[in-house]
Structure 1
Amino acid sequence: MLLILLGVLVLHLIILILLLISTSVNAWTVSSQRTLDLWYSCLYGGGYHCSPASNEDWIQAVQALMVLSVLFCLLSLIFFLCQLFTLVKGGRFYFTAVFQIFASLFVMCGAIIYTVMSPDREAGAEFGYAYILAWVAFPLCLVSGLIYIVLRKRE
């Protein structure tokens, strides 16, 4: 049982790291001359110049959803650790599971909005590794939430 709990904890930490990287790194859209992030748009021509991301509603929605996903994943980790020591024998980690599933839904919604609304897709730019990490974190987060639903506390 200890190995299962340790495995779930490591999976949760990996998901949290993936979400932190995908939310903060400047590589959601990458081209030969510029990179776009949720927070900055950087140009490479004649130096490295960064400006804040646009004030459009869709980018602010993606920013909010990604920040919420990180917060919900962190809160579910805290709730898991608290429930690990306070939950009665045979109890399930429902509260942790709900927060983890919400985090996965926030990541999915943010990535979908970015996919649909990203304006630089027509200019030959490609999605960067931070965008891909967000999509990798989504199923891992969902599976982790489902594992928490099934997981029971034992002695």
Structure 2
Amino acid sequence: MLILLCGIVFLHVAALALLFVSTVVSAWAVNPTSSADLWFNCTTINGVNSCQPGDTGVWIQAVQALMILSIIFSFLSLFLFFCQLFTLQKGGRFFLTGAFQVFASLFVMSGAIIYTVMNAEWVPPSESFGFAYILAWVAFPLILISGLIYVILRKRE
């Protein structure tokens, strides 16, 4: 049982780290001379790097909010797991923890879908999706799987 709990916590922390990196790193859209993320657009010209605030459109603010909510819900889910681990009765299920984790996965998915659809309006066609965007999509199934594991998991002595 201890190995299972350690594995679940490791999966949760790894997914939380992926979420955090994908939200903070400036690589949602990249090309050889520029990169863009949810917050800034950076350009390198003649070795000089200049960053300007990103688009202030409603859709990018929705993506920003959804990614931040996913981090908050995933962190709260981890906190709730440890609280329930010590207070839940034997045989109880981690429904609240799983629900928070599933909500976090839905927030990531929604934010990534909005970014995918609206990206054509904001980013020039010469740019491609960067690794932070891909990390957000990788984090989505990991968070969903960990949320489902929490729902199925029963507390044992």
> TM class by shorter-chain length?
over 0.9
Q: Using the TM superposition, give the Cα deviation of residue 55 of structure 1 relative to its aligned residue in structure 2, in angstroms.
A: 0.6
Q: Using the TM superposition, give the Cα deviation of residue 3 of structure 1 relative to its aligned residue in structure 2, in angstroms.
A: 0.6
Deviation digits for residues 39-65 of structure 1 (CA, Å, limit 9, x no counterpart) = 000011131000011110010000000
Q: Does 1:147 align with 2:133?
A: no
CA distance in 2, matches of 1:120, 1:78: 37
CA distance in 2, matches of 1:64, 1:77: 20
2:83: which partner in 1?
82
Q: Using the TM superposition, give the Cα deviation of residue 67 of structure 1 relative to its aligned residue in structure 2, in angstroms.
A: 0.2
CA distance in 1, matches of 2:110, 2:17: 19
**Quick one: which amino acid aligns to residue 89 of structure 1?**
K
Q: Does 1:30 align with 2:30?
A: yes
Q: Using the TM superposition, give the Cα deviation of residue 124 of structure 1 relative to its aligned residue in structure 2, in angstroms.
A: 1.8
Deviation digits for residues 93-149 of structure 1 (CA, Å, limit 9, x no counterpart) = 000000000000000000000000013555221100000000000000001110001
2:107: which partner in 1?
106
Give unmatched runs, 5+ long, in structure 1.
none
CA distance in 2, matches of 1:70, 1:52: 22
TM-score scaled to structure 1, two decimals?
0.97
**Quick one: which amino acid aligns to residue 137 of structure 2?**
W
Tell me the C-alpha RMSD between the 2 structures: 0.9
Deviation beyond 4 Å, 4+ runs, structure 1: none
CA distance in 1, matches of 2:154, 2:60: 39
Give unmatched runs, 5+ long, in structure 2.
none
Q: Using the TM superposition, give the Cα deviation of residue 12 of structure 1 relative to its aligned residue in structure 2, in angstroms.
A: 0.4
Q: Using the TM superposition, give the Cα deviation of residue 33 of structure 1 relative to its aligned residue in structure 2, in angstroms.
A: 1.8
CA distance in 2, matches of 1:43, 1:2: 48
Q: Please give the secondary structure, in 2, of the residue aligned with 1:44.
A: strand
TM-score scaled to structure 2, two decimals?
0.96
**Quick one: which amino acid aligns to residue 145 of structure 2?**
V
